[in-house]
Structures are given as structure tokens and as C-alpha cells.
Structure 1
Amino acid sequence: MPTGGASLPDTSGGRRWGGEMVGDALEPVRGFVVGGQDAAENEFPSQLSVQVQRPEEPPSYRHACGGVVLNQYWALTAAHCIASRLQDMSLLSVLSGTTRLHEGGTRHKLQAAVVHPGYDGDTLLHDICILKVAEPFQLDGVKVAAATLPQQGQPVQDGAVATVVGWGLLQGDSGGPLFVDDVLVGLTSFSYGCARRNFPAVFTRVASYVDWIMQHIQ
């Protein structure tokens, strides 16, 4: 699970760009977040992999997006990772408690998904979705832990150093967390290309949605 540094843009919307879907890992996921480094084991215990079951026997799974644990039954990801798959939720699951996509960890089937009612698939405005797992996360505080949410509307200081956590490769990190001082301030939403000069990545500003999140997960 690679990590990297970023600054937080002052927006939570954006624009869809080419590919099957921003957030789908179209190739095997390997490598780093651009400019990043390997995370230590259990360094980011709230990080999840959102995965899609392949139509084959025995079942195998394809990483699609990142996500983050909120509490025992709820998680957070980007809306664009889930919105087109709401009719086939049985194929979706999340993997917790590992820094490796193909070994270790615990798989959790999804019971429900709540896409923000204002989500726009063309502009990626309100690109946020709450997930409910059928079997609870085992919150041991070491391998799996809940992320710390900001207060509703809480600002991030200009120039604050943030940490992006993801799984590496182009289009494999959407929905994953952006932390400032161990507080979840953003979800990876979109970019124009990857790590291009003068084109910063755009993150959904979590502080704008805390009241909405809490209405569903309490």
C-alpha cells in the first residue's frame, strides 16, 4: 500500500475523464502512488480495497477503488466507484486489515450503499458514498481501525501537509483517504492524467459532508 504527499485543493467537484470509470484499476495493481513509498504494516488501518467479483469459478476479485473504515459497519468511498454498480451489489465487497491486495485481510460483502443525493456523474460534484458491510469490521485498533472524521465545515490550513493513501497504478486510488494530522480530510476523486505538473489531484472535502455521514452511520 503506497503513500504520498499532497496539498488539498479547495473544491469537492470535478469532471469525468476517459477510461471505463475513474477509479477502476484496468490493469493489475502494482507500483506506487506517484512520488510515494511503501506504507509500513498496519500504518493505515482504516484503509480499504473496494473490489468487484469476477464472473468465474472459483470466485476471484478485482480491485476497483480505495475506501476507508468509519465504524464497525460503515465505510466511505467515492460515489463514482459505486454509482453504476448499485443494481448488482452482490458482486461488491471490501477488503480490510491488509496492505496487500491478494493476501491476508478480511473480505466483507456489502449490504447497502448510500450515494450522496447530489452526486453528478458528469461533473463528479458530491463524489462521496457510504457503504454498509454485512459482517462487521473487527476493530482491533491495530490491523483495522476507524478513521477520525473532522468537524462539519472544519477548514484545512493553507499549505498543510497531507498524506494520500492508495494502492498504486493509474485509476486504482479513487475513493481512498487523504489525511492531515491523522484526520480524514479528503477522498481521492479525480485528476487530469496522473501527477501532471500544474494539474493537481482533486479530493472530495470530507468536512463538507460530516453531518450527512453521521445521519446514516449512528
Structure 2
Amino acid sequence: MRGQKLLRDNCGGVILTQHHVLTAAHCLFRKINDTTAVTGTTILRASEVVIRVGSSYNDRGGSEHVTSKTVVHEDYKYMISYDNDVAVLVLPTNMSNYRSSSVQPAAIPPGGYVVPDNASVVAVGWGRTDENCINSTPLGLRHVGLRKVDRDTCAARYSIFSYNNMLCAGLLGVGGAGICSGDSGGPLVYNGVVVGVTSFSVTCDDSFYPQVFMRVSSYTNWINNTGAVRTW
């Protein structure tokens, strides 16, 4: 997904139904240049958000769809709290290539589902391959294998960690790979099920700080209440 000339970086998303895409809430915000603004940010209008579906490239192929509605979690507070960083985008018409050779809807876990510690998980996106190089964003979709990090370790390293709503993964003690700028909103996958939505990290390949994802099973009911009913 991208904002029409408004977002510095693209974001990823997860197709749930013909009309619904799950992503990170922070992808829908942008800074206001007007210094008199109270919050300094504004949420993108639905008509400003474009979704590309059915291509492994972020700049061509597939089909583009303008959203008709954005549903941001009511308890998400941009730049104040990193918690509840989830949103659902609603399309006004059916995706033309839904359930095809290039598109399949994702399954999400039932409420409360827990990914085992140290389980192998995969993050997917078009994020930078070098955090210091803005031109390192690949055109082709990429993935990285990580390990689920236990909640106590993650809480010890992040003061803002939410036990209920966040899930951590990384290559602790090793580093060298992970999510980066441009991967936000994309999926973290375990056994073919989307268990996380990419939210934030300290650096792109840190060996001490895990990467943080919104724990999808904490939001299953919320997602279903938006009309996007798609569970494991």
C-alpha cells in the first residue's frame, strides 16, 4: 500500500477478504508541516491510500485499488503509544484477482492463540535491505526467517512492551537480518498463518533488540468486527 505522494515509504498489508486489508495503523499517519497544529500529524484520507494487489513488485503489475474507508484501532495513539498499531483498509469493490495464482487471502489465528517461544517465523515485505541507504528498497518481495522471542525477554529490553498485544521476533545474539523501514504493516507468518503485523524495531538487524509485531490473535475479534472475518 502507499499514500498518493504523501508517504515517504510504502507499507505492506495482508489481504483478508475481497474488501479488507490488514495493516499497521502508523502507516496511515503523516506529519503536518504547519507548526501550529496541535498534534503535528494527521491521518490519511481513505481516498489517499492505494493498494497494489497481485504482484511481487511494489511499483508495477497486479491491480491498484483506492480504499473507501480506513479503520484505525480506537486505542492507537500515534507517536504516543506503540500499542494497538493495527488498522483495516476497506475497498469499495471486489479485488479483481482475488483467489488467483498470484493472490490468496491470509488466515489469522483464533483469539488468544500463542506462538511457541523460539518458533521459526517469517517476516515478509519490500523494506530496505540497508537501513542507512534509502535506495536499498528492493522492487521484488523479500522474506526473512526469524525466531519468536519470549515475552519476558522482550519486556526486559523494551519499556513500552505490551504483554497482551505485542509479539517479538529476531535473531538474538546473532543479528544481521530483520525487518526494516518499508516493511511496516506486513505479515509475520507461522505455519502459514499470519500471527503478527510488523510494527517497529530499534535497528534493522540488531542482535540485542528484537523486532516488534502486533500480536494478531489479540485483535481477532476487533478485526472480525470490521467485517473482515477470516480465521484459521
**If the length of structure 1 is used for normalisation, what is the TM-score?**
0.70
In structure 2, what is the Cα distance between the partners aligned to 1:88 and 1:127? 18
Within 5 A, what are the aligned runs for 1:120-199? Answer: 120-121=77-78, 122-137=80-95, 138-169=97-128, 170-199=180-209
Does structure 1 residue 117 correspond to structure 2 residue 63?
no
Stretches of structure 2 that go unaligned for 5 or more consecutive residues are 31-41, 129-179
Equivalence for 2:131: none
Does structure 1 residue 68 correspond to structure 2 residue 21?
no
SS in 2 for 1:214: helix
User: Number of matched residues?
Assistant: 164
After superposition, what is the alpha-carbon deviation per residue over 1:146-176, rounded to whole angstroms, capped at 9, x for unaligned? Answer: 1011001111111110010010304110000
SS in 1 for 2:205: coil
In structure 1, what is the Cα distance between the partners aligned to 2:120 and 2:206? 19
After superposition, what is the alpha-carbon deviation per residue over 1:192-218, rounded to whole angstroms, capped at 9, x for unaligned? Answer: 121112011100000000011111115
CA contact under 8 A between 2:111 and 2:219: conserved in structure 1? Answer: yes
What RMSD over aligned residues (CA atoms) do the two structures have, in Å?
1.8
Among 205, 214, 225, the residue aligned to 1:215 = 225
Equivalence for 1:90: 47
In structure 2, what is the Cα distance between the partners aligned to 1:179 and 1:102? 24
Query: Percent identical across equivalent pairs?
Result: 37
Q: 1:157 to 1:87 in 2, by over 3 A?
A: closer
CA contact under 8 A between 1:189 and 1:204: conserved in structure 2? Answer: yes
SS in 1 for 2:13: strand
Kindly provide the amino acid, as one letter, of the partner of residue 132 in structure 1. Answer: V
Which of 1 and 2 has higher RCO (CA within 8 Å, sep 6+)? 1
SS in 2 for 1:64: coil
CA contact under 8 A between 2:76 and 2:84: conserved in structure 1? Answer: yes
In structure 2, what is the Cα distance between the partners aligned to 1:210 and 1:156? 15
What's the CA shift for 1:142?
2.0
Moved more, 111-120 or 79-88: 79-88
CA contact under 8 A between 1:83 and 1:115: conserved in structure 2? Answer: no
Equivalence for 1:51: 2
